[in-house]
Structure 1
Amino acid sequence: MIRIAKAACVAAVFGLASQMALAGSAAGLWKTIDDETHQAKALVQINEGPNGELSGKVIKLYQHPDAVCDKCDGANKDKPVNGMQILWGLKKDGEEWSDGKILDPKSGKIYTSGAKLIEDGKKLRVRGYIGPFFRSQVWERQQ
């Protein structure tokens, strides 16, 4: 009986530690929410590189799964949004990430970007900037 109690205690400690690690990292799977319609838009996989920079790629589109980036320039021109890297170069800056870039496939524009975990890591506030002006979205962590 004591062994079972010890095993349960160890499992609880490891579970708590993994939740704390998850809360401190933006790496993972995120559901994007359209800031205008408040509907689920896409799933984005965010990865943290060896240098600590974040990058993100669309892995599923909810509303228009066959959408292409017809307003994009360069290599992304007329490419499927599904599978496209839309977030890159975000560097850890205290409790936030900053100085990255984010692509809005709808407009084809690339903005300076920042991100911050909120609600104990359950949500990610993502911002795109042009000068002093910004637009924010809150993405929801998926398990």
Structure 2
Amino acid sequence: MQFLKHAPNRRAGRPVSLVIGAACAGLALMAASPAQSAPDISGKWRTKADAVVEISTCGSALCGKLVSFPAPKGETEATATDANNRDASKRNRKLLGLKILWQLKPDGDAWSGRIYDPRRGFSAAATVTTPRAGQLNIKGCVKAVVNVCKNEVWTKVN
């Protein structure tokens, strides 16, 4: 390596050590600039309806399952079904353990995927962001004539 340190670069007329030094400095700057990446949103989150959704890895993406919720009148968590689903063939499936977030993949500093609202019985495109520590902002959008979106803030369950 001592040879490279003092050998001239014949094309540029500069010593190789300056060229190597400049290249190393450029790589160091690239490594020091953090790329935007989606934050870790794994864990249990309380919705504004007092349900708890657990977000974890499902294959190559994240998903969220309903792990606790206030049961509808006359039912329990164990017996409550997806009665409001627009698809009649799904109305008898259990709500407890139901995947309500799926296909969540990093999208810059957010997560994009799908969300299902069992209160209304339909799914929507979802964007998940973390405005503050311990909070998730869930934005669901349905395409009508225009995009109709609704935001909801969930809080981390310890």
Scaled by the length of structure 1, the TM-score of the pair is 0.70
Change (3 A) 1:50 1:69: closer
Change (3 A) 1:142 1:91: same
Change (3 A) 1:84 1:114: same
1:68 partner letter: T
Counterpart check, 1:57 vs 2:57:
no
Structure 2 spans left out of the alignment, 5+ residues = 1-37
Residue 135 of structure 1 aligns with an amino acid whose one-letter code is: K
Return the alpha-carbon distance in structure 1 between the equivalents of residues 132 and 81 of structure 2: 33
| Cα pair distance change 1:25/1:75, threshold 3 Å | farther
CA displacement at 1:24 relative to structure 2: 2.7
Percentage of matched positions with identical amino acids: 28
Distance across 1 between alignment mates of 2:106 and 2:122: 23
Secondary structure at 1:67 match in 2: coil
The alpha-carbon deviation at position 50 of structure 1 amounts to 5.2
- Equivalent residue for 2:16? none
2:102 corresponds to: 88
Distance 1:136 1:106 in 2: 15
Matched, 1:137 2:152: yes
The verdict on how the C-alpha distance between 1:83 and 1:75 changes in structure 2, with shifts beyond 3 A counting, is: farther
CA distance in 1 between partners of 2:71 and 2:121 (Å): 18
Residue 31 in 1 paired to residue 46 in 2? Answer: yes
What is the Cα-based RMSD across aligned positions, in Å?
2.0
CA distance in 1 between partners of 2:100 and 2:123 (Å)? 9
1:45–1:56: 8 Å Cα contact kept in structure 2?
A: yes
Q: How many residues align?
A: 112
The runs of 5 or more residues in structure 1 that have no matched partner are 1-22, 35-39
Partner of 2:111 in structure 1?
97
The answer to whether the 8 A contact 1:57-1:87 is kept is yes
Deviation at 1:133, TM superposition (A): 1.6
Residues 2-50 of structure 1 show CA distances to partners (whole Å, capped at 9, x for unaligned) of xxxxxxxxxxxxxxxxxxxxx930110001113xxxxx2x110001345
Counterpart-to-counterpart distance in 2, 1:63 and 1:77: 15
The answer on whether the counterparts of 2:136 and 2:154 sit within 8 Å (CA) in structure 1 is yes
Q: More displaced, 56-65 or 72-81?
A: 72-81
Match of 2:26? none
Structure (1 or 2) with the larger CA radius of gyration: 2
2:23 match: none
Amino acid at match of 1:69: D
Tell me, what secondary structure is at the counterpart of 1:107?
coil
Q: For the residues of structure 1 that align with 2:102 and 2:89, how far apart are their CA atoms?
A: 15
